[in-house]
Chain A
Amino acid sequence: MTKAGLIRLALIAVLLGALEVLVRIGRIDALTMQAPHKMLLDLYAMLASGKLNKAIAKTMGNAGFAFVIAVSLGVISGLMIHRMRRVRETLDPLFATYYAIPVFAFYPLLILLLGLGDAPQIFIGVMLGFVAVVVNTLNGLDRVPRVLLKTARVNGMNGLETALKITLPSAAPYILTGAKFAVAYSLIGVIGAEFIMSTGGMGYEISFAYNNFDNATMYPLIIMILVASISINMVISRWEKSLLKRRGLQ
């Protein structure tokens, strides 16, 4: 591990230790915050009892679904928009301001349109992640050296083959950056929507536990979400790094 990495790890350990101490000596009251060791014990108990398995499966499933749609739709859209100069010129400023839109404000409308099931939650997750994937895909495609496209044409490759064998591999590191955003955004979208209006899922359970002062459920769920998001992010980062390293870019 690098020196910066060690310092980072130490920082987290110190903060957790401080929290543990502050809760134990009562400076932070147990109604607000649990001691970290207690959170872990609660998490274990929660998983062992299996009572929230359904909520966890629903949230992770929906977020995973939103992620897959955001990435595949985003990459395909990126490829298409890249080929159409006019469309690109029209959309670029919209992409730039997209994240100024509070997507959750549309949630009630989405429920009207898509019903009370999982669809509106998945839709919000896709809406959040999709544009990040498109923007990063376009960024990557802009950087494909022209000589590689010439090589594709000389080899008689059609549009699809060129995309699969030349442009997408060449843009892969940038697409992975987009995918990292999509992981975070699909979780934010799905869980946020569950918070606001839904009858199940981790977001709903957290909100329910919060209203009932049930810290033994709330904190373990929050930890699970953190761990899931960070570990998926780390896996993609690793992959991204190895691609960049292979290209002599890192």
Chain B
Amino acid sequence: MTQPHIRLSDVEMTFSRPDGVGEDIHALGPIQLDLRHGEFFAVVGPSGCGKSTLLELMIGLTNPTKGTITFEGQPINGSCPDGIGVVFQEDASFAWLTVRDNIAFGLRRMALDRREQDERVEQALAMMGLVEFADVYPSQLSGGMRQRVCIARTLVTQPRLILLDEPFGALDQQTRLLMGDEILSLWRKTGATIFLITHALDEAAMLADRIGVMSSRPGQLIDIVETNWPKDRDSRIVENDAFGAVTARLWRSLRVESMKAIGKKDAQA
């Protein structure tokens, strides 16, 4: 397997102002990145550095102003290939459908027999801890649970590459650790490649095989950290001495960038 699962070459994104007034916003890049088949890759970076923009480029929602992205050898051009599943940063649950129907939404559009579909939905409900909420509407759930509904909706289609944009942002620290365990076991079970965007350094350090550190806008990868964790890790990895070292290295790379992001222009390394 020499071919990367997804490859970003010289990818750049510049937004022009919709009204044509003012300077264009150079949001991202240039970025070079190869994701290996089946790896767990995390991206950390200060807010506004272009993480969500990067994700939208990878699913063809926007075309990069420069560079190319190929998924399984095929260039991505304006539409999301089958095989990629995404969970957005914002709440994307459908207020008019029950939790169960929300989760089944993408599946129902696939050529798959109904029994298999229903089975997958029930499995996802169980896995995401939503069984007792299957028949309620999203408005009755907390923000974190709604995000779990969206994760489940993506998982049931069994994507080979899963992109997650700060999926645990709305959760408390303890639940985040436990959801991390769920994602890890899911990753092991499915063999999917995972691309996780997060602003939490410890989350990235605990979950990922490799962590990309992004600079402030325009976001570029300024460091890539290999964790060398064993495949069957879980949240108890935080007790490991090496965990502290990984987190420390991430913070060393990010500190100056984060200061820039909050407006301290004269930040010193």
User: A residues within 8 Å of B by Cβ?
Assistant: 145-148, 150-151, 153-157, 166, 169-170, 172, 243, 246-249
Contact = CB atoms under 8 A, between A and B. Distances in A.
Contacts of A248: 95, 137, 139-140
Q: Which of A151, A172, A246 has the most CB of B within 10 A?
A: A151
B61 interface: yes
A246 B94 CA distance: 11
B83 to A, nearest CB: 12
Interface in B128-143: 137, 139-140
Nearest to A243: B96
A157 B95 CA distance: 19
Given A153-B61, A154-B59, A246 B92 contact: no
A148 B88 CA distance: 10
Contacts of B92: 145, 147-148, 150-151
B80 interface: yes
Nearest to A166: B94
Given A156-B80, A246-B139, A169 B96 contact: yes
B137 A150 contact: no
B61 A150 contact: yes
B109 interface: yes
A158 to B, nearest CB: 11
A248 B141 CA distance: 10
A92 B127 CA distance: 48
Contacts of B223: none
B111 to A, nearest CB: 13
Given A154-B61, A155-B109, A247 B96 contact: yes
Contacts of B73: none
A145 B138 CA distance: 15
A243 B137 CA distance: 11
A150 B80 CA distance: 10
Interface of B: 56, 59, 61, 79-80, 86, 88, 90-92, 94-96, 105-106, 109, 137, 139-140
A170 B90 contact: no
Nearest to A148: B92
Contacts of A148: 92, 94
28 contacts: A145-B90, A147-B88, A147-B90, A147-B91, A147-B92, A150-B61, A150-B88, A151-B88, A151-B92, A154-B61, A154-B80, A154-B86, A155-B80, A155-B105, A155-B106, A156-B79, A156-B80, A156-B109, A169-B94, A169-B96, A170-B96, A172-B96, A246-B95, A247-B96, A247-B137, A247-B139, A248-B137, A248-B139
Q: Is the interface of B mostly helix, strand, loop or mixed?
A: loop
Contacts of A243: 96
A-B pairs with lowest CB-CB distance, top 9: A248-B139, A147-B90, A247-B95, A169-B96, A147-B92, A154-B80, A151-B92, A246-B137, A247-B139
Nearest to A145: B90
Nearest to A169: B96
Contacts of A154: 59, 61, 80, 86
A157 B88 CA distance: 17
A155 B106 CA distance: 7
B134 to A, nearest CB: 15
A148 B56 CA distance: 14
Contact of A246 (B88, B90, B96): B96
Contacts of A172: 96
Given A147-B91, A246-B96, 14 more contacts: A145-B91, A146-B90, A148-B92, A148-B94, A150-B88, A155-B109, A156-B80, A157-B109, A169-B94, A170-B94, A243-B96, A247-B137, A248-B137, A249-B139
B61 A170 contact: no
Contacts of B95: 170, 246-248
Contacts of B140: 248
Contact of A153 (B80, B96, B106): B80
A217 B90 CA distance: 60
A172 to B, nearest CB: 7
Nearest to B108: A165
A145 to B, nearest CB: 7
A245 to B, nearest CB: 9
Nearest to B139: A248
A248 B136 CA distance: 12
Q: Which of A156, A166, A246, A247 has the most CB of B within 10 A?
A: A246
B201 to A, nearest CB: 26
Nearest to B78: A153
Contacts of A145: 90-92
Nearest to B106: A155
